[in-house]
Structure 1
Amino acid sequence: MPTDKILKAAKRKRSAKSDVPRKRTRSESESDDDMTDKTNVQDRILLLENQILESKKHYNNIVELLEIAKKGPAAEEEDEVESDDEDDNGSPQLAAAVALCRVFMRLLAAGGLNFTPNMSDKESTVVRWLRDRLAEYEAVLLELVAGKSGDDAAATALTLAMRLLQAEGQAQRKKAASSVGSDDAAYEFPQALLTSIVRSLLLAGARLDQEAAEGLADEFVEKFAGEMVDVRFYAFKAVSTVLASISKDDSSGAGDVDVAARGAFYLLSLVDEVPSFSEDLETFYVNPPPAKRSHALYSVARHRKMAQDAWLAVLQHAAASSTSDRCLRKQALGIASTVIAPWFAQPELMLDFLTDCYDAGGATSLLALSGLYYLIRERNVDYPAFFRKLYSLLDAELLHSKHRARFFRLMDSFLASSHLPVQMVASFLKRLSRLCLHAPPSAVVSVVPWIYNMLKKHPQCTFMIHRVPRTSEEREALAQEGLADPFDAREQDPMETHAVDSCLWEVVQLQTHYHPNVATIAKIVSEQFTKQAYNVEDFLDHSYQSMLEAEFGKTVRKAPVVEFQIPKRIFLPHEKAKEASQANATADGQPEDQLLVKLWDFA
């Protein structure tokens, strides 16, 4: 690939959140001598590259190109910030990196880095030296991918590193095929280089901002891991290897582990297309592909096993109780059933993580419901005391949570069975009715239709709507002392709350709610149950804004008559005001009213 095309492909748009730097004029940014020096460096790079490709005696030029590639923008211009003009012309550092990529790709394709049986000692020394320079060049690229010189250089270095990986893999395949004499040689992939690239991607967040690091992961998945079977397979393996090595490394602090875990989560979450058949695994980055269909790269089960190990490494870190991991844990729970679980060959391995999150309480428990429900439905997992734990989630914070709609969708599925005990269903209805007394209107309009639907599904609970005292003793006690609600709100077991002996008086109280929509929807329990069921989805996504817009959008047929009397005074004088105005007394010793009292006197 030509130098200008790779540099142009590496351009990234600046973040809209950051301030756009002022574009300096030529007199401010670079003098004529600097422009000349820069042009001379570019010409020098091209000259060194051409000499290396022409003759082996110029191999020492690789050392000079490596020195130029190691110099970042800070070393080239210590007291100046890199300007847009410099980005447009391309930095010498990137130009040297591109030139070295072309050099080593030519050497790999020609077999110049391979040892042969008939090779002399001098030639072996040259090959060994070239391999050392290749390793040094790879280290330079990995530093750039990790964000040493900014996001522009990181994107370019990622492209160069992947092209070098392809050249190394094809050179290994060619060497193996020539030694065997056919294409049936064992498939070889440069796993070490890919593992180092993945490590740099995961740690890029330590040097780059979040948007730049995620953009780098997007490019890796879009161009390579998302399309190429071999890159995706070994990238999964690299993620688990890198996270394990960073966790065991005592010299790297906890900050590196957190950065790597967040980077691994984002990288893995982008790979959401799970292959179903081996025929879908046909596109390879390192060619020729394996000749035998029994190879692991053609196995869907092996792909899922690698992805499962990678996700388990991320979830193991996300399960930690530190504050920095709570956000990662919630993000993992948000995609547990849609992105993570389909990759698992054994979804039961997620059970420990999900149950720990389910027992944590609060928003974490609400998010863990989706993944736990997936295991119950798809894998027939039995969770002991599931409904007791579900009942404990009905607290004062539930109806104020942003995950309220997701919870009601799942709870509607959990309580849909007609074989559930009536005591349990009555406890859920009573608990939610009690919470509605202190809930926002947007939550109440979701709960009341759901209660209506539950009463239709469980007719045995309908007597909770209107409970009438049957004996004369009960009526006399009701007239004299009132009736105590037998419902025990502090009981955590839904089978022992005595909700079945209570009634839904809370919904009747909602019929006089200050919000007209709540008062209207609450009246459905006092009417005949002629409607089969409400579509709860129509009520779950309501908010203050949507309900306010609905009120403003109503057509008023007749304007209401308002009667009022205009007061003669707005601010009235009082004794404290007079005492406070003693300091501003008039000359004859009489206190003076405050200025506001005088200005707003309409008498």
Structure 2
Amino acid sequence: MPAATTKAAKRKRSAKTDAPRKRRNKSESGSDDDMADETSVQDRILLLEGQILESKKHYNNIVELLEMAKKSAAKDGEANDDDDDDDDDDESAQLAAAVALCRVFMRLLAAGSLNLAHSMSDKEVVVVRWLKDRMAEYEAELVALVAGKSGDDAAATALTLAMRLLQAQGQAQRKEAAAAVGAEDVYVFPQAFLTSVVRSLLLAGVKLDQEAAEGLADEFVEKYAGEMSDVQFYTFNAVSTVLADLSKGEGEGEADRAETTIAINAASQGALYLLSLLDDVPSLSKDFKTFLVNPPPAKRSHALYSVAKHRKMAQDAWLAVLQRVALSNDKSLRKRALGIASTVIAPWFARPELMLDFLTDCYDAGGATSLLALSGLYYLIRERNVDYPAFFRKLYSLLDAELLHSKHRARFFRLMDSFLASSHLPVQMVASFIKRLARLCLFAPPSAVVSVVPWIYNMLKKHPQCTFMIHRVPRTADERAALARDGLADPFSLAEKDPMETGAVDSCLWELVQLQSHYHPNVATIAKIVSEQFTKQAYNVEDFFDHSYQSMLEAEFGKEVRKTPVVEFQIPKRIFLPHGEAVAPAADTADTGGEQPEDQLLVKLWDFA
């Protein structure tokens, strides 16, 4: 059907099935006609399918089915109730035609009708090539449906049809290749078609909402990539190919650059989510048992049975994704990648140190991004012995006022507890971390303070060399005289960035003494642990990380009042007292000549007597 056809022409029905009908209102008895019309379309589709499978002379019916499958349920312009009904009918007919075509091509593939042979005549070769062109046209339509051309329901159906057709293609191509080389153990996988399907999955977020796009990825992984070893292997390769192809289009003209940018951002987000679902890393070749294209390769030396090659494919795919994430300005995308860096991404890498550039860039970005990059960077330091000389200096710079207000505070303290656990760390460095956190507690919310103080207690137990910071007294007579005369200036420098040069080792934890007078009773109570004997081995800081404003407030409300407090007060008649009612000092009266100044206008207006 020509591309310039109007909507009315697209909606016309074949004269072989029924005549044009007049549109009726919902109140009329036209619903029966609508049901009959929809049934007639379904019958027409089944008739065309049956004729194709009966005889080659009906192959042209494929063109009519393709036209039905290409009808989009999305219409431009204003919509009304009747248009909604027609949209539903068109979508139903579209999916029915797509399903029928899938059955047709699967049977043609199984029968070998799309395989070329040397014994074929020129006419038969033309027919086979024509069928392959129509199948390619159908594949393109399925890919468009998966990308969200007609909505999420049609996308899910098209994904199932595409994978069934892919399976049939793989088995047919194997037979054709085996006949060509005269061997039965040839394994062929339709990787090009799978790459197109994966591309549609990654770009589904352009036309569909995020929830629907992620739902498609969930279904793809649950049914295929997560279960079938061959699909997973070639999916990794497809992700790398799609991101590389999209990156090549960035240098095009200004008109297409904005559209390309949107596609790249959507593909990066889709690829990150899709690969994050593939978290089952194989360890042995015998783990590869299930294949979409059967029978599986006969030789165990095939790449699909190699754990090293499988992980290499995954590593390349993740590197492509991390490269796009690093170039993206989307901070939320970076945080999602960093959140799974050490648990999902790193296990796929045969060389995890390849992630170092991405992690260090995120670590140097500051803020919450640096906090999330800590776990991945620490994984490389611990597991791969990666050298990062400025690690502790950068870690010290993350201790700022925003840290104790961050939602990632608990995660940061868990990691820092591991970083500072070694007894071989210099005492100057440990003292700097303890002192800086103690200073930040003076400006921190109560929910953060009750987490920091037990953590400081544990650090003092792990590093006894720092315990002199709890109570520092002058040792000589000159020091005592200077302290009585001039007081004591804190030698700690909060602005110093190097934890080895802050002077914290010469300071004391006077901040914790101030916290013992905190307005919140829980903070005041927990701060007193440093003034008591250190008989407790260590606190379980996990018990304090869950505290928040709400939990602490509910705990206060839940306390039983043992004794009702005595309160004495008098309700004032005025918020602002007139000057005549105020008791003025004698000096003030003398300065004004014994006269009271006139009341301000604010005092006159706020009269509640």
> What's the TM-score once normalised by structure 2's chain length?
0.88
Any residues of structure 2 matched to 1:436-515 within 5 Å, and which? Answer: 436-515=441-520
Aligned to 1:97: 98
Residue 308 of structure 2 is aligned with which of 301, 307, 312? 301
Quick one: structure 1 residues 493 and 76, their matched pair in 2 at CA, closer, same or farther if it must change by over 3 Å?
A: closer
Quick one: structure 1 residues 28 and 369, their matched pair in 2 at CA, closer, same or farther if it must change by over 3 Å?
A: farther
> Is it true that 1:257 corresponds to 2:258 in the alignment?
no
| Superimposed CA distance per residue, residues 412-458 of structure 1 (whole angstroms, 9 cap, x where no aligned partner) | 10111111111111111111111111001111111100111111111
Aligned to 1:350: 355
The residue type paired with residue 148 of structure 2 is: G
The residue type paired with residue 483 of structure 1 is: L
Q: Distance in 1 between matches of 2:538 and 2:411?
A: 19
Offset of residue 85 of structure 1: 10
Aligned to 1:57: 57
- Determine if contact 2:74/2:87 at 8 Å carries over to the other structure: no
> Is it true that 1:157 corresponds to 2:164 in the alignment?
no
- Determine if contact 1:147/1:207 at 8 Å carries over to the other structure: yes
Residue 527 of structure 1 is aligned with which of 518, 529, 532? 532
Count of paired positions = 560
Any residues of structure 2 matched to 1:183-222 within 5 Å, and which? Answer: 183-185=184-186, 187-222=187-222
- Determine if contact 1:173/1:288 at 8 Å carries over to the other structure: no
Q: Distance in 2 between matches of 1:88 and 1:560?
A: 74
Aligned to 1:363: 368
Q: Distance in 1 between matches of 2:440 and 2:86?
A: 62
Offset of residue 80 of structure 1: 4.1
Q: Distance in 1 between matches of 2:29 and 2:84?
A: 8
Q: Distance in 2 between matches of 1:203 and 1:29?
A: 43
Aligned to 1:283: 290
Identity %: 80
Quick one: structure 1 residues 164 and 352, their matched pair in 2 at CA, closer, same or farther if it must change by over 3 Å?
A: same
Aligned to 2:544: 539
Q: Distance in 2 between matches of 1:568 and 1:202?
A: 69
Aligned to 1:246: 246
Q: Distance in 1 between matches of 2:521 and 2:84?
A: 60
Q: Which shifted more, 480-489 or 157-166?
A: 480-489
Q: SS of 2:389's equivalent?
A: coil
The residue type paired with residue 517 of structure 1 is: N
The residue type paired with residue 52 of structure 1 is: I
Q: Distance in 2 between matches of 1:189 and 1:145?
A: 20
Q: SS of 1:73's equivalent?
A: coil
- Determine if contact 2:73/2:88 at 8 Å carries over to the other structure: no
Q: Distance in 1 between matches of 2:429 and 2:546?
A: 27
Any residues of structure 2 matched to 1:377-388 within 5 Å, and which? Answer: 377-388=382-393
Q: Which runs of 5+ in 2 are unaligned?
A: 1-24, 580-596
Aligned to 2:583: none
Q: SS of 1:467's equivalent?
A: coil
- Determine if contact 1:169/1:190 at 8 Å carries over to the other structure: yes
- Determine if contact 1:183/1:291 at 8 Å carries over to the other structure: no
Q: Distance in 2 between matches of 1:298 and 1:103?
A: 33
Any residues of structure 2 matched to 1:10-21 within 5 Å, and which? Answer: none
Aligned to 2:588: none
Aligned to 1:403: 408
Q: Distance in 2 between matches of 1:211 and 1:85?
A: 27
The residue type paired with residue 157 of structure 1 is: A
Aligned to 1:226: 226
Quick one: structure 1 residues 449 and 88, their matched pair in 2 at CA, closer, same or farther if it must change by over 3 Å?
A: farther
Q: Distance in 1 between matches of 2:217 and 2:27?
A: 38
Q: SS of 1:508's equivalent?
A: helix
Aligned to 2:133: 132
Q: Distance in 2 between matches of 1:88 and 1:414?
A: 63
- Determine if contact 2:38/2:89 at 8 Å carries over to the other structure: no
Q: SS of 1:528's equivalent?
A: coil
Q: Distance in 2 between matches of 1:385 and 1:541?
A: 31
> Is it true that 1:273 corresponds to 2:273 in the alignment?
no
Aligned to 1:312: 319
- Determine if contact 1:108/1:171 at 8 Å carries over to the other structure: yes
Aligned to 1:173: 174
Q: SS of 2:74's equivalent?
A: helix
Residue 568 of structure 2 is aligned with which of 563, 569, 580? 563
Offset of residue 530 of structure 1: 0.7
Q: Distance in 2 between matches of 1:289 and 1:256?
A: 35
Q: Distance in 2 between matches of 1:145 and 1:113?
A: 25
Aligned to 1:331: 336
Quick one: structure 1 residues 569 and 490, their matched pair in 2 at CA, closer, same or farther if it must change by over 3 Å?
A: closer
- Determine if contact 2:198/2:239 at 8 Å carries over to the other structure: yes
Q: Distance in 1 between matches of 2:396 and 2:107?
A: 67
Quick one: structure 1 residues 535 and 29, their matched pair in 2 at CA, closer, same or farther if it must change by over 3 Å?
A: farther
The residue type paired with residue 534 of structure 1 is: Y
- Determine if contact 1:144/1:157 at 8 Å carries over to the other structure: yes
Quick one: structure 1 residues 122 and 524, their matched pair in 2 at CA, closer, same or farther if it must change by over 3 Å?
A: same
Quick one: structure 1 residues 416 and 74, their matched pair in 2 at CA, closer, same or farther if it must change by over 3 Å?
A: closer
Q: Distance in 1 between matches of 2:220 and 2:409?
A: 36
Offset of residue 92 of structure 1: 0.5
- Determine if contact 1:330/1:364 at 8 Å carries over to the other structure: yes
Offset of residue 216 of structure 1: 0.8
Q: SS of 1:74's equivalent?
A: coil
